[in-house]
């Protein structure tokens, strides 16, 4: 059972205090988008063994959504960061590179 640190309140929260929210950094496609764009937005997801970026919510705590970067195989947590961004912060990506040289995830590496 995981623990993740909420980047808003700082609490090292127990998994039972959190809700998982699926893949991070999806771009919303609304009216005007093509069938393929919209299909991918709704249904196409990464399923990596290794580095992954996810959305979590500190549901039983401060209620804030945040992002977590972790390894789906070892459950190592590389870091958590706030929800108000569209891509993983550079420092975090560098930190992951130090631990997992050559990692890639979607367009990021």
Partner 1 sequence: MSKRLPTHGRLIDRSKRIGFTFNGKSLAGHPGDTLASALLANDQMMVGRSFKYHRPRGVVASGPEEPNALVNMGQGREFEPNQRATTTELFDGLISRSQNHWPSLEFDIGGINKHLSRFLPAGFYYKMFMYPRAFWKHVYEPFIRQSAGLGQAPRDRDADTYEHFNTFTDVLVIGGGVAGLQAAKAAAQGGARVLLMEQTAHWGGRAPVDGGTVDGAPVERYIDQTLTELKAMDNVTLRLRCMGAGVYDHGYVLGYERLGDHLPGAEGPRHRLWRVRAKQIITTTGAIERPLSFAGNDVPGVMLASAMRDYVVNHGVAAGQRIVIATNNDDAYLTAICLKEAGLDVLRILDARDSGGGPLMNAARALGIRIDCGRAIAKVGGGRRVKKVQICAQDGLGGALEEIACDAVAMSGGWSPVVHLWSHCGGKLTWDADQAHFRPDPDRPPTGADGAGFVRAAGAANGYMSLEDVLADATKTGISAAKAAGFKPKRGTTPKAEPTLQAPLEPVWLMPRDAHAGLRSKSWLDFQNDVKVSDVQLAAREGFESVEHTKRYTTLGMATDQGKLSNINGLAILSDALGQPIPATGTTTFRPPYTPISMGAIAGEARGEVFQPVRRTPMHDWNAANGADWEPVGQWRRPYAYVRSGETVHDAVMREVTNTRSNLGLLDASTLGKIIVKGPDAGKFLDMLYTNMMSTLKPGRCRYGLMCSENGFLIDDGVVARIDDDTFLCHTTTGGAEHIHAHMEEWLQTEWWDWQVYVANVTEQYAQIAVVGPNARQVLEKLGGMDVSRESLPFMAWADGRIGGFDCRVYRISFSGELSFEIAVPASQGLAFWTALHEAGQEFGVMPYGTECLHILRAEKGFIMIGDETDGTVIPQDLGLNWAISKKKDDYLGKRAQARSHMTDPTRWKLVGLQTEDGSVLPDGAYAIAAGRNANGQRNTQGRVTSTYHSPTLGRGIAMGLVLNGPDRMGETLEFPGTDGTLYKARIVDPVFYDKDGEKQNV
Partner 2 sequence: MSEPISALNHARFDGIADIAEIGLQGMITLRGDLAARAVKSAATKATGAAMPGANAISTKDDSGLCWMSPDELLVLCPYAAVPEVLAQLQTALAGSHALAVNVSDARAVFRVSGPAAREVLAKLCPVDLSPAEFEPGTIRRTRLAQVPAAFWMVDNETFQLVCFRSVAQYVFDLLCVAAQPNSEVGVF
Residue numbers at the binding site for partner 2 (CB under 8 A): 8-11, 14, 16-17, 59-64
Q: Nearer Cβ to partner 1, position 1 or 49?
A: 1
- Answer for which of 47, 84, 94, 101 binds partner 1 (CB under 8 A) is 84
Q: Which residues contact 58 (CB under 8 A, 6 or more apart)?
A: 6, 8, 9, 11, 13, 17, 18, 64, 65, 66
Assess 31 for contact with partner 1 (CB under 8 A): yes
Q: Nearer Cβ to partner 1, position 57 or 93?
A: 57
For strands 3-5 and 12-14, give the pairing: antiparallel
Four-residue CA torsion sign, 51, 93, 22, 57: positive
For partner 1, the binding residues (CB under 8 A) are 1-3, 14, 21, 28-33, 35, 38, 41-42, 55, 57, 59, 63-65, 71, 74-77, 83-84, 99
């Amino acid at each position: 059972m995981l623990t993740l640190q909420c980047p808003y309140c700082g609490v090292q929260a127990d998994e039972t205090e959190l809700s998982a929210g699926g893949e991070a950094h999806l771009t919303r496609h609304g009216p005007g988008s093509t069938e393929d764009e919209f299909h991918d937005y709704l249904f196409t997801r990464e399923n990596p063994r290794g580095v992954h970026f996810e959305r979590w919510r500190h549901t039983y705590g401060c209620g804030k959504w945040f992002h977590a970067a972790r390894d789906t195989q070892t459950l190592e947590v590389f870091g958590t960061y706030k929800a108000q961004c569209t891509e993983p912060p550079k420092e975090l990506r560098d930190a992951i590179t130090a631990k997992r040289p050559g990692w890639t995830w979607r367009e990021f590496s």
